[in-house]
Every structure is written in structure tokens, then in C-alpha cells.
Amino acid sequence: MGLGSWYSVRMSVLKVVKSENLRKTYSQSSRYLWQDIMECVPPPIVEEDEKLPKPKKNKSSKIPAGKTQRIRLFPTQEEKSKLKRWMGTARWTYNRCLVAVEKEGIERTKKALRAQCLNAANFNNTELQWVLETPYDIRDEAMNNLLKSYSSNFAAKQKKFKMKFRSKKDQQQSIAILSKHWDKSKGVYTFLCKMKSAKNLLAELHYDSRLVMNQLGEFYLCIPQPLEIWAKNQGPTQSDAVIALDPGVRTFITGYDPSGQAVEWGKNDISRIYRLSHIYDKIQSTHDSIHRKVHKRKRYKLRRVMLRIHKKIRCLINDCHHKLAK
């Protein structure tokens, strides 16, 4: 189970002493229920006119997505600069639409926001012609994200809420990739399906996806997929394989088998997480002790190191959790 892993898995046999003079802790169950007999009431007869209305038919035959597959991408330097430029324009469009709604009194509708913030007529003979270098659909989806944020707050019946601007310092940046643009042979989207990736990219997208960049500059493609629903229980009908799990700190999980065997999962391996956390704390202390502007490049490098250590800790923990769940 733990072959090739950073943690250890040990099995042992427990010595269980069985006592024959144990008192019974149960009583014989009754063969009938202690409940008063209720009067038999015939079910009401429903006439044809009182039948329930027919459910509305779904206009789209596409199965709704229930899960997301995340694939790591390895774009070239030219592709990276283009994707970063698109994400920056999408962020600017989101903030521009927010200003138009909150301060300029523009209606929260697609038609009004497109006329004010997206159409090419707003950027002619201005210093903002760089906005038109980003495809229209990417900027349009940034506007749709703002409208969806408003709708979710109104649906939650929030009396007072304040929409925040997007920042370049956010934990992640993302843009929408529409499914109709994925397999294009010409145009600005042709490089998307040809980028290097950790897994083979799909030849066709059935759902609109998102391309995400984290603070370390790593790119991921998040592809929605339908959730597989099994009609019947796939587990065995009868099984004697039962184990009791006991979580802990020094030993992550200890499993006890009815036959007397015990499995210790990750015994004393938490020390590696402690060492990484200690290094993280020391770097954070050094970062917080630097205040002058002349050292801003050093602070930036320290933040990058902290992010890499945090990712390393998260990956180690996820590796242990996922292999244990299997």
C-alpha cells in the first residue's frame, strides 16, 4: 500500500485476551412492536382533474456537469505571455463593469454593459486600444462572471453586500474557454488544444471550461464532466471485511481488524510536515522583518519560496489522504 510513498505503512498482530466470564450487555428483543393499532383509513381517490401538473421538459439535452477534471498545462513563453495578457484584460473588464454598475449607474444587464464596456466603439481613438487585442468572448465572460456574482448574492437574500475588485495579487487568475473555440483550426484560439500537458487533452470540449493560473505561474485547464451515477450498489452483497479506524497525530491512522491485525498508516511521519512548517515560519519571519522599498525584490522572492513550500506540504498531505481512501 505504501510502496514508493513518503510515509510508512506497518502491519502487526495484536494479542487479544478473550474472557469467558463476561456479562451480557444485551436483552432479548421483542417479537412485536409496542405501538397502538391505528384505524384503517382508506386512501383518498384523486380525480382526473386534480392530477399533478406535468413536469416541464428540459430544453437542452446535455447532461449537467457534476465534477471537474484539472489538467496541468506547460505553455511556451510566447503562449504564457498571451494567456497572461488575456487574463489581465479579463480582470480589467470585470473591474470596469463593476465601476459602471456601482458608480455610473449602468443597469445590470448584458446589453447595457456590452454597450458601455465591451463594444469596440468605446476604445477607438483612445489609449485603451490594447483591450481589443483580447478576444471578445473572453471579455464577455468576465462581464458574465460579475452578473453571476450579483445573482448569487441576491439569491442568498443578502441584505448588504459589497462587490470587490479583482486584483493581480489574488490567489489565482482565470479566463473562460468556450467549447466552440476549442477545436478551431484558424484564429487566435488554435494554440490552446496544442499546448503540452500532463495528460492528453480532449479533441472536443462538451462544456465551457476555465483556464486557471495560480500565484506560482502554473497553468491548469479545468474541464467540467458529467457525474457517473450508478443505478445499483456496486459493492458486494455480503462482506466480512470490516476495519475500525482510529485517527491520531503521531500516527495518522490506525486500523484494527476483527482477526487481530493492526495497520499503522504514517507512524511518526508527521515530523517531515513539521520540518517544512518550521522552515516556512522562519522564511515568513524574515519576510515580515523587511520593510524598505529597496528590498521589495527580496520580499517577492521570499513569498515565492513560501508558496512553493506550502504547495509541497499540501501535495504530501493529499498524497497520503488519496492513497488511504483507495
Query: Can you give the residue ranges of every domain in the chain?
Result: 65-226, 246-325
For residue 230, the model assigns a pLDDT of 74
* pLDDT greater than 60 at residue 59: no
CA distances from 168 to 88, 157, 217, 310 (A): 8, 30, 12, 20
CA distances from 243 to 42, 57, 153, 260, 261 (A): 48, 46, 44, 10, 10
Between 255 and 7, residue with greater pLDDT: 255
The answer to whether 87 touches 217, Cβ cutoff 8 Å, is: no
| Cell numbers standing for residue 95 | 473591474
Instruction: Please provide the average confidence, as pLDDT, over all residues in the chain.
Output: 84
Give the lowest-confidence range in 196-205, 254-263, 304-313: 254-263
For residue 112, the model assigns a pLDDT of 94
Q: Which of 317, 81, 318 is nearest to 219 (CA)?
A: 81
| Cell numbers standing for residue 133 | 487585442
State pLDDT tens for residues 138-154: 999 999 999 999 999 98
The answer to whether 266 touches 251, Cβ cutoff 8 Å, is: yes
Residue 43 banded pLDDT, cuts 50, 70, 90: low
Q: Which of 247, 278, 282 is nearest to 264 (CA)?
A: 247
Residue 325 banded pLDDT, cuts 50, 70, 90: confident
DSSP 169-199: TSSEEEEEE-GGGTT-SSSTTTTGGGSEESS
The answer to whether 179 touches 206, Cβ cutoff 8 Å, is: yes
- The mean pLDDT of 70-81, rounded to a whole number, is 96
The answer to whether 79 touches 239, Cβ cutoff 8 Å, is: no
Q: Which of 175, 260, 189, 153 is nearest to 221 (CA)?
A: 175
Residue 60 banded pLDDT, cuts 50, 70, 90: low
How far apart CA 191 and CA 136 sit, in angstroms, is 17
Residue written as cell 428540459? 58
Q: Of how many residues is the chain composed?
A: 326
The answer to whether 7 touches 252, Cβ cutoff 8 Å, is: yes
For residue 36, the model assigns a pLDDT of 54
Residue written as cell 446589453? 111
For residue 67, the number of C-alpha atoms closer than 13 Å in the C-beta half-sphere is 6
- The mean pLDDT of 109-129, rounded to a whole number, is 90
For residue 40, the model assigns a pLDDT of 57
* pLDDT greater than 80 at residue 33: no
* pLDDT greater than 80 at residue 90: yes
For residue 53, the model assigns a pLDDT of 60
Residue 303 banded pLDDT, cuts 50, 70, 90: very high
* pLDDT greater than 60 at residue 156: yes
How far apart CA 149 and CA 154 sit, in angstroms, is 9
Q: Phi and psi of 323, rounded to 5°?
A: -70, -30
| Cell numbers standing for residue 44 | 383518498
Between 163 and 232, residue with greater pLDDT: 163
Between 295 and 218, residue with greater pLDDT: 218
State pLDDT tens for residues 238-294: 666 778 888 888 888 888 888 778 888 888 888 889 999 999 999 999 999 988 777
For residue 44, the model assigns a pLDDT of 64
The answer to whether 150 touches 163, Cβ cutoff 8 Å, is: yes
Between 205 and 7, residue with greater pLDDT: 205
* pLDDT greater than 60 at residue 321: yes
For residue 27, the model assigns a pLDDT of 59
The answer to whether 254 touches 248, Cβ cutoff 8 Å, is: yes
For residue 26, the number of C-alpha atoms closer than 13 Å in the C-beta half-sphere is 3
For residue 264, the model assigns a pLDDT of 86
